[in-house]
Amino acid sequence: MGKFGRPGDGGGGGGLRVAGGGVVKRGKGGDDRSAYQGIQFLKSFGQHILKNPAIVTAIIDKAGVKSTDVVLEIGPGTGNLTTKLLDACKKVVAVEFDPRMVLELRRRVQGDPVWNSKLEIIQGDFLKVDLPYFDVCVANVPYQISSPLIFKLLAHRPMFRSATLMFQREFAMRLVAPPGDSLYCRLSVNTQLLARTQHILKVGKNNFRPPPKVDSSVVRLEPRHPQIPVNFKEWDGLVRFCFGRKNKTLGGIFRTKNVLELLTNNYRTYKALKVVPDKKAAKAAAAASMDVDVSEASSQEVVKQLIEDVLATDGFGEMRSSKMSQDDFLRLLATFNSKGIHFA
């Protein structure tokens, strides 16, 4: 499928034959390289080519690609998926880091004027390039950048319709994990705040050349329309605290000394920067802020009591992050904010 995939196998010394006549070679620094059709696939880039055409077809079907769509493909590699997409959509925008793969992809489409006219290649680091408009995204995701790639996509505007992405299986299952699942984590909560997630299919490691160490899974993300009205930096700040020890009660987390100190600093900063509507109120607020600044100990006592008030609301103190739903976290954040406690 793409130049990127799962972590490569270590292999032994010398060369190992792989399916299709390729040779896995040990490069400098222990890097595994697979020579296939004249191209060496690099472990350092996570290059594993999806070789099963049935899986390629299934991914396109599950992506729901329309003939009028502009499709963003990340890591097209030698173009096994790209050519199928070109037959199915209006245009493919392919982002590829490896200049050798860019050259191979151009060679592959140059003999077909229709394919050639429908393909745009952006050579560069996906996390650094500016993305154009697209309707859907399809990618065999670089395992090294799985998480930042997701949040770059979900921050893109205008919003796209869906993204059908292949990840290492455990990472994929974290994306779709519900509350109470052993894999439910900060990644689950943050992704599911911004998008609906669905596990599409499992892809065994033997469907790649060379085969990686672990199986993969394909996940479909659909950005929420409209987006849930919440400050994502604040949300992530709260969730980061909660999942630092996800099996502890919220009471056990928010009563710790370190958390109290951090929230006290946030509280003091917020009070100092708070915008007030008129000069008289501004003077009063400034005086109040100065009073708060006089004693850090008194500030902590204020914040400590505010935290206790929050924990006493709706039974939050006894809740555990590992079992809390999106609505639970939204209510928790709203309750903290109502007390003047912020996380960003």
Interval 281-290 mean pLDDT: 48
The two structure tokens encoding residue 327: 């609505």
**Whole-angstrom distance, CA of residue 162 vs CA of residue 216:** 19
- Per-domain boundaries in the chain: 43-223, 232-278+293-339
The two structure tokens encoding residue 313: 């609301």
Q: Is 48 annotated as a binding residue?
A: yes
Q: Is 140 annotated as a binding residue?
A: yes
Residue 23: the pLDDT is 30
Give the pLDDT band of residue 272 (cuts 50, 70, 90): confident
Structure-model confidence comparison of residues 298 and 328, the more confident one:
328
Structure-model confidence comparison of residues 159 and 144, the more confident one:
159
CATH of the domain spanning 232-278+293-339? 1.10.8.480
Domain 43-223 fold: Rossmann fold (3.40.50)
Q: Is 96 annotated as a binding residue?
A: yes
In the chain, % of residues over pLDDT 70: 80
Q: Is 222 annotated as a binding residue?
A: no
Residue 39: the pLDDT is 57
pLDDT digit string, tens, across residues 248-263: 999 999 999 999 999 9
Q: Which residues contact 64 (CB under 8 A, 6 or more apart)?
A: 136, 161, 162
Residue 34: the pLDDT is 40
**Whole-angstrom distance, CA of residue 157 vs CA of residue 91:** 19
Q: Is 153 annotated as a binding residue?
A: no
Q: Is 75 annotated as a binding residue?
A: yes
> In angstroms, what CA-CA distances link 261 with 84, 235, 326?
55, 19, 26
Domains 43-223 and 232-278+293-339 share a fold: no
